[in-house]
Amino acid sequence: MAGTLFVVATPIGHLDDFSRRAEQTLKTCQIIAAEDTRHSGHLLSAYSINTPTTPCHDHNEGQKVPELIARMQQGDHVSLISDAGTPLISDPGFRLVRAAHEAGIRVVPVPGACAAISALSASGLPSDRFSFEGFLPAKTHARKQTLDSLKKDTRTLIFYEAPHRILDSLIDLNEVFGKDRQACIAREITKTFETIKKATLGELLEFVKNDSNQERGEIVLVVGGYDAEQEVENTEATDKLLKRLLQDLPVKAAAQLASELTGIKKNELYQRALQLKD
């Protein structure tokens, strides 16, 4: 009989967030395929798990997958783990799971921690429909393009973010989504310096700017979806403001002042002011 591939979630910080079933699965399988065997050594020794481990990550999955599939075909049970949380969620493992399906091997998830879901559950943002977006591109131009494509998405958006990029991403999010969009920073979930802060994008930018500790550790950014009604209200309010400013100021100055007051791009307001003036 062929063995099984168990996809086992591990903690994202707090070592106690590890299920009894996950522990038993790792103890009783024949081999653990780990993203980083040294990193996982800490968890395995804390739970006295002595099962042999083998590295399985983005760089060796090509050769490792056939080897693990062969072992399962011979009857061995294999557990797949990543450094933290649920494998395959911005983590390696996809090729192994796909190959197991193709080989007719049973795939069994052993659920547990996942930073994206933990952040969403505590964010105070709508959780009925959401989109997990993984990591945003590192370069500003590509990041803004991605954000632009998500600007009108009505679902709650979940991003993983590196600490050294959180400030730049918040700046771009403010520019593309506007400073009034609701969002939540979930940092160091389950760890000593856990921070869950819900506010507008504008407020979150100030919060991170004013406290360099917020640029440390692991971060999930949850952003509320596009709200068409709010957009109409905002447009009406902006038009009202522009019309009033245009009574006393030339178009350029009115757009400049309105931009300072609303956070909306000056160019956008300049074009709108021209239309209102006609």
The residue among 75 and 124 lying less far from ligand SAM, judged by its C-beta, is 124
Region label for 157, one of left (φ > 0), alpha (ψ between -120 and 50) or beta (otherwise): beta
Residue that the structure tokens 């709108």 belong to: 272
Q: Backbone phi, then psi, for 108, in 5-degree steps?
A: -125, 120
Q: Which of 76, 91, 153, 268 binds ligand SAM (CB under 6 A)?
A: 91
Question: Which span sits near ligand SAM by CB under 6 A: 65-73, 98-106, 181-189, 238-246?
Answer: 181-189
> What is the Rg, in whole angstroms, of the alpha carbon atoms belonging to the chain?
24
| Footprint on residues 17-76 left by ligand SAM (CB under 6 A) | none
Question: Pairing mode, if any, of strands 130-135 and 106-110?
Answer: unpaired
Q: Which of 6, 18, 130, 160 binds ligand SAM (CB under 6 A)?
A: 160
Cα separation, 169 vs 9, whole angstroms: 28
Q: Is 222 in the site for ligand SAM (CB under 6 A)?
A: no
| Site map (CB under 6 A) of ligand SAM, residues 93-122, x = contact | ---------------------xxx------
The residue among 113 and 255 lying less far from ligand SAM, judged by its C-beta, is 113
Are the beta carbons of 87 and 81 closer than 8 angstroms?
yes
Helices marked H in 165-250: 166-177, 201-209, 228-248
Are the beta carbons of 111 and 86 closer than 8 angstroms?
yes
Taking the complex as a whole, the smallest distance from the CB of residue 135 to ligand SAM amounts, in Å, to 7
Sheet holding 219-223, edge to edge: 130-135, 156-161, 219-223, 182-187, 195-200
Taking the complex as a whole, the smallest distance from the CB of residue 162 to ligand SAM amounts, in Å, to 6
Q: How many CB atoms lie within 10 A of CB 150?
A: 20
The residue among 31 and 221 lying less far from ligand SAM, judged by its C-beta, is 221
Binding residues for ligand SAM, how many (CB under 6 A)? Answer: 24
Taking the complex as a whole, the smallest distance from the CB of residue 265 to ligand SAM amounts, in Å, to 28
Site residues (CB under 6 A) for ligand SAM?
Answer: 12-13, 82, 84-86, 89-91, 114-116, 160-162, 186-191, 218-220
